[in-house]
Amino acid sequence: MAKDGDGEKKEKKGGKKKLLIIIVAAVVVLIGGGVGAYFAFFASSGEEEAHPEPTPSAVVVAEPITVNLADGHYLKIAIALQTTTDAHEAVDTSKALDLVISQFSNLEVAELSTNKQREAEKAELTERVVEAYTEEEHEYVMAVYFTEFVIQ
């Protein structure tokens, strides 16, 4: 009977080893599956899945407008919009002109007197105009140009 007891002990040890191997194998499979799922669904494969950079197309020139500045001064400004190939038809400039009016109205002459300040205003305007002419991942305008900028 002592032999049977030793056999049971050996069998229990062997059972624990098998169970440990099965658990380790299951953990490795689960980790491997998780890593694979991450790369399949979340990690980029090096290729940009986002839309490519917009390609320039026609330049649409808007009529000059006059904007009231502070202290009785005026700004005569004309802009042009660099459209993209996504804009299959002529771009209406009314949204852009509305943004020009809202951005430049009541500014002081000193705020527009240097190139650095004008470029900062232009960069902000460009960002706002591009956003206004973007819908469902299609960018219709990619740049704003000042074609006339006269402070009086």
- Break the chain into its structural domains and give their ranges: 1-50, 56-151
Mean pLDDT of 116-135: 94
Residue 150 reports pLDDT greater than 80: yes
Residue 90: which pLDDT band, with cuts at 50, 70 and 90? confident
From 33, 87, 38, select the one nearest 60 (Cα to Cα).
Answer: 87
Mean pLDDT of the chain: 85
CATH of domain 56-151: 3.30.479.30
Residue 44: which pLDDT band, with cuts at 50, 70 and 90? low
- Give the integer Cα–Cα distance in Å for 133 and 91: 9
In single-letter form, the type of residue at position 141 comes to: V
Residue 28 reports pLDDT greater than 90: no
pLDDT at 12: 59
- Give the integer Cα–Cα distance in Å for 33 and 35: 5
Residue 142 reports pLDDT greater than 90: yes
pLDDT at 52: 72
- Give the integer Cα–Cα distance in Å for 134 and 4: 81
pLDDT at 136: 84
pLDDT at 46: 54
CB 144 within 8 A of CB 124: no
The model's pTM: 0.65
Residue 7: which pLDDT band, with cuts at 50, 70 and 90? low
